[in-house]
Structure 1
Amino acid sequence: MQRRLAPLILAFAAVPIALPVIAPAAAQQASSDLTQVNAYIRAVTTMTADFSQTDRNGQTLTGQITLKQPGKIRFQYQKGVPLLIVGDGKALTMIDYEVRQVQRWPIGNSPLGALLDPSKDLAKFGKVIPSGDPTILSVQARDPKRPEFGTITMIFKRDAGSPAGLQLYGWVALDSQNNRTAVRLTNQRYGAPVADSAFRWTDPRPKGRSAGG
């Protein structure tokens, strides 16, 4: 369960998608909303938060997320879960200490690129999803040519006291096998100093190969 859940955190498809035809006023609002999300991503220099990750069977893992722009992120799971996900500015790495395996993805092509690269333009790979609640802003990313990436919907709350007037509430991922995972963030804290050492990791593979320090 643990090793299946973790990759769903990476279920962004940060590539261009086809957008539906919508009314001019709605299109203008959607464009404004995407601009606001871009502004949020660029305004967040550092963030820490608690996260709760729940799959479709109701199984939940918790932990802490640490983010530092550009490109650095760490998912530290709760005690007893032998998984770690780290972005060091160049690559995203998932470390499974139980089976001593390491997997890496270039951040430029990674699912989390939407949050980890302030230079990206969400208008090129995302669309606004109506929520029916004016205080909620949802943005979906999906690549129809790569169904294995599934679909991700990032959920923001409008909050005047947060960066660019938005608070990242979490995201919902749906993979190609229709497995649903929801990640909720709480206790978001912005702007505190975060040392680069927070994004190092110990390589569990034999012969002491340590790619993360």
Structure 2
Amino acid sequence: MIFAAALAAPVLISAAPVQDSAVDQVERHLRSVDSMVAEFQQIDRNGRVLTGTMSLKRPGKIRFQYERGVPQLIVADGSSLYFIDYQVRQVERWPIGNSPLAVLLDPDRDIGKFARSVPTRDPRIVSIEVHDPDHPEYGRITLIFQKDGSAPGGLMLQGWVALDSQNNRTTIRLSDQRTNVPVSDRTFRWNDPRRGGRP
């Protein structure tokens, strides 16, 4: 219910003024997180729902391991973000900095220049929208946090809504979040289907 209430806001307030306290709090949280493992639910623009496990390690590494039977993988290895489709043996690649996920992966990124606070109906929720107006092709991302005194920086990431340059919307909801836990660099290796590799 908390996430659902927050999701309604991004469509209405994309031009909201920056509220330094919210943006600063998110920056403190991000600087306090070196790694995270969580379960995720992904909802695409057509309403298709997929689940899996997300592993994050800063700087620059993230992996979305989808549920069994889904022949896809999204992984960033520290320099590039890859979308791998094992069914059709196709790999797409982007520089991490060209992705909305850069805000989560780059600990040195100054989000204050690109972030706007998103008002929510629940005082327990902090939400910010991040996009670079000079590079609309990078898309935008609205991050949603719940206040939690025991979490890094007093916030726990609940998920996000990403819009790509074609306004395709993808919603990620997180659960069972564990921050600053050991995550091996091997997690972010992947098998190239163009060379016969399997997921």
TM range (shorter): 0.7 to 0.9
Q: Please, which moves more after superposition, 192-201 or 108-117?
A: 108-117
Q: What is the alpha-carbon root mean square deviation over aligned residues?
A: 2.2
**Residue in structure 2 matched with residue 59 of structure 1 by the alignment:** 48
Give me the whole-angstrom Cα distance separating, in 2, the residues matched to 1:180 and 1:154: 13
Write the deviation string for residues 10-58 of structure 1: whole angstroms up to 9, x where unpaired.
Answer: xxxxxxxxx9585xxxx5xx11211111111111111100000113443
- In 2, Cα distance between equivalents of 1:175 and 1:201: 24
Counterpart for residue 61 of structure 2:
72
- Conserved 8 A contact 2:142-2:161: yes
Matches of 1:178 and 1:89, distance apart in 2: 26
Secondary structure at 1:205 match in 2? helix
Pairwise CA distance, 1:178 = 4.7
Identity within the alignment, %: 56
Q: Distance in 2 between matches of 1:67 and 1:60?
A: 21
Contact 2:100-2:139 within 8 A present in 1 as well: no
Corresponding position of 2:71? 82
Q: What is the distance in 1 between the residues matched to 2:25 and 2:166?
A: 32
> Where does residue 194 of structure 2 map in the other structure?
205
- The equivalent residue for 1:161 is 150
Q: Distance in 1 between matches of 2:24 and 2:109?
A: 11
- How far apart, CA to CA, are the structure 2 residues paired with 1:144 and 1:114? 15
Asked if structure 2 preserves the Cα contact closer than 8 Å seen for 1:129 and 1:140, the reply is yes
Structure 2 contact 58–106 (Cα < 8 Å) conserved? yes
Instruction: Give the deviation of 1:147 after TM superposition.
Output: 4.9
Give the counterpart of 2:115 among 126, 132, 136.
126
The two structures have a TM-score, normalised by structure 1, of 0.78
Structure 2 vs 1, CA of residues 42 and 105 (structure 1 numbering), >3 Å: closer, same or farther?
same
Residues 182 and 108 (structure 1), Cα distance of their counterparts in 2 relative to 1, 3 Å cut? closer
Q: Distance in 2 between matches of 1:113 and 1:150?
A: 11
Deviation at 1:143, TM superposition (A): 4.3
Query: Is the CA contact 1:152–1:174 (under 8 Å) kept in the aligned structure 2?
Result: yes
**Structure 1 residue 118: deviation in Å?**
0.7
Q: Which runs of 5+ in 2 are unaligned?
A: 1-13
Matched, 1:186 2:184: no
Change (3 A) 1:21 1:180: closer
Residue equivalent to 2:20 = 31
Asked whether the 8 Å contact 1:149–1:176 carries over to 2, the reply is yes
Asked if structure 1 preserves the Cα contact closer than 8 Å seen for 2:145 and 2:157, the reply is yes
For residues 40 and 100 of structure 1, the distance between their equivalents in structure 2, rounded to whole angstroms, comes to 38
2:92 counterpart letter in structure 1? Q
**How has the CA–CA distance of structure 1 residues 109 and 179 changed in structure 2, closer, same or farther, with 3 Å as cutoff?**
closer
Total equivalences in the alignment: 184
Structure 1 residues 90 and 176: CA distance shift in structure 2, 3 A: closer
CA contact (8 A) 1:82 1:97 kept: yes
TM-score, scaled relative to structure 2: 0.83
Question: Structure 1: which 5+ runs fail to align?
Answer: 1-18
Change (3 A) 1:91 1:179: closer
* 1:107 to 1:179, Cα distance in 2 relative to 1, 3 A: closer
